[in-house]
Amino acid sequence: MPSSPLRVIIPIFPEFTALDAIGPYEVLRMLPDTEVTFVAKAGGVVRTESGVVGLHADASLDEVGSADILVVPGGWGTRALTRDEEMLGWVRAIHETTQWTTSVCTGSLVLAAAGLLDGLDATTHWSAVETLEKLGARYTAERVVRQGKIVTAAGVSSGIDMALTLVGLIAGDDVAKAIQLAIEYDPQPPFDAGSPAKAGEEIIALNATLRDRRTVAAPR
C-alpha cells in the first residue's frame, strides 16, 4: 500500500505576513508525496497585514487535529495570538503529533506563548527579540535554529532557508538543492543591509519611521 502523503499545515490569521507563509509553501509543496493545507479559525479568505493580499484557508482549526509539519508564520497579528488560548491550545495539540514544528519571523512568539520554547534557543525577527525572551526562549541571532524537532526562522525571507533546511533533513541535500534550483533561490541582494548590524543606526531609524507609517511590513 502507498504511504500517506506528508501533511504540512500552515495556520493563517488576520494580519499575517504573506511571505512568511508563501516562502515555505513554495518550497515544501515540491517535496515529493506532500500536501500543504492552509488553515484558519474559519475557512475562507484571510487577509495579510497589508489588508490587500489574502490567502484562502481550506480548513478550520477544529477540522485539523494532526500534522507532520506545522509552519507558523509571523506578522502584525501574532501579538494577538500570544493571548489567544484557542490558537495556543491548538498549536500545543498539533505539536504533540508533528515530526517537525516550525515558525517564521514572529511566528516563534506564538510557539513561545504556547510554552513550546521554554528554555530553548530560538530566533525571530530582530525587532521582536525582547518579546521572544520575555516569553521564555533564548534568542539566537541565526537565520535558522533547530532544537530537536522545533525549527525557528528569523525574519520573513529566512522562511525559505528554514524550509530548504527542513527538506534536506527529510529527503536529503540533493532534493533540497533541486528545489532551491527550481525556485532559483540564489540571493544576491543589491544592498548589504539585511540585519541591524549591517544596516547601521540611520537605516534602523528610517525603518522605524516607515514601519510607523505601515508602508513597510514588520512586526510590532
Hey, which residues are catalytic here? 105
Answer for the pair 60, 40: CB distance below 8 angstroms, yes or no: yes
C-alpha cell at 181: 534550483
Torsion of CA 32, 181, 140, 81, to 10 degrees: -60
Sign of CA dihedral 39, 40, 42, 45: negative
| Contact indicator for 51, 77 with CB cutoff of 8 Å | no
For cell 527550481, the residue is 182
C-alpha of 54 from chain center: 16
